[in-house]
Structure 1
Amino acid sequence: MTVDLKGRIALVTGASRGIGYFTALELAKAGAHVIACARTVGGLEDLDDAIKSLGGSATLVPFDLADMAAIDALGGSIFERWGKLDILVANAGVLGTISPVGHVEAKVFDKVMTINVTATWRLIRSIDPLISKSDQGRALILSSGAAHKCKPFWGPYSASKAAVEALARTWAAESARLPLRILSVDPGATRTAMRAQAMPGEDPDTLPHPSTVAQALMPLLGPDQTETGKLFVVRENRIKDYVNPA
Structure 2
Amino acid sequence: MSTAPDLTGQVALVTGASRGIGYHLAKQLAAAGAHVIAVARTVGGLEELDDDIRQERARTGKGEATLVPLDLGDMAGIDRLGGAIFERWKKLDILIANAGVLGVIAPLGHVEAKVFEQVMTLNVNATWRLIRSVDPLLRQSEAGRALLLSSGAAANPRAFWGPYAASKAAVEALARSWADETKNMALRVNAVDPGATRTAMRAQAVPGEDPSTLPTASEVAARIVAITGPDRTETGQLFHVRDNRFKTFRLPE
TM-score by length of 2: 0.94
Structure-2 separation of matches of 1:69 and 1:241: 34
Q: 2:247 is matched with which residue?
A: 242
Amino-acid identity (%):
68
Cα distance in 1 for partners of 2:117, 2:236 equals 27
C-alpha separation in 2, matches of 1:208 and 1:177: 36
Is 1:209 aligned with 2:216?
Answer: yes
Question: Which residue is 2:17 aligned to?
Answer: 15
SS at match of 2:226: helix
Equivalent residue number for residue 60 of structure 2 = none
Q: Is the Cα–Cα contact under 8 Å of residues 90 and 140 in structure 2 kept in the other structure?
A: no
The one-character-per-residue Cα deviations of 1:2-28 (angstroms, maximum 9, x if unpaired) are 401000000000000010000111100
Write the distance in 2 (CA, Å) between the matches of 1:242 and 1:190: 20
Residue 182 of structure 1, aligned match among 166, 171, 189:
189
Corresponding residue number in structure 2 for 1:162: 169
Matches within 5 A, 1:99-178: 99-178=106-185
**Residues 2 and 100 from structure 1, CA distance in 2 versus in 1: closer, same or farther, beyond 3 angstroms?**
closer
- Cα deviation code 1:124-156 (max 9, x no counterpart): 000011101210100000000000111000000
In the comparison of the two structures, how many residue pairs are matched? 242
CA deviation profile, 1:164-190 (whole Å, cap 9, x unmatched): 000010000000111000010100000
C-alpha displacement of 1:201 = 1.2
**C-alpha distance after superposition, 1:31-69 (max 9, x if no partner):** 000000000000000000001111121000001000011
Query: Which 5+ residue runs of structure 2 have no aligned equivalent?
Result: 58-62
Do the aligned residues in 2 keep the contact of 1:219 with 1:225 (CA within 8 Å)?
no
Q: Work out whether residues 176 and 236 of structure 2, in 8 Å CA contact, stay in contact via their aligned partners in 1.
A: yes
Report the Cα distance in structure 1 between the residues aligned to 2:133 and 2:248, rounded to whole angstroms: 31
- In the superposition, the TM-score normalised over structure 1's length comes to 0.96
Give the deviation of 1:240 after TM superposition. 2.0
TM-aligned CA distance change 1:2 to 1:197, over 3 Å: closer
Q: Which runs of 4+ in 1 moved over 6 A?
A: none
Confirm whether residue 38 of structure 1 aligns to residue 43 of structure 2. no
The two structures, once aligned, show a CA RMSD in angstroms of: 1.1
Structure 2 residue 7 is matched with structure 1 residue 5: yes
What does residue range 64-79 of structure 1 map to in structure 2 within 5 Å?
64-79=71-86
Q: Which runs of 5+ in 1 are unaligned?
A: none
CA distance in 2, matches of 1:22, 1:164: 22
Task: Provide the secondary structure at the position in 2 that maps to 1:220.
Answer: coil
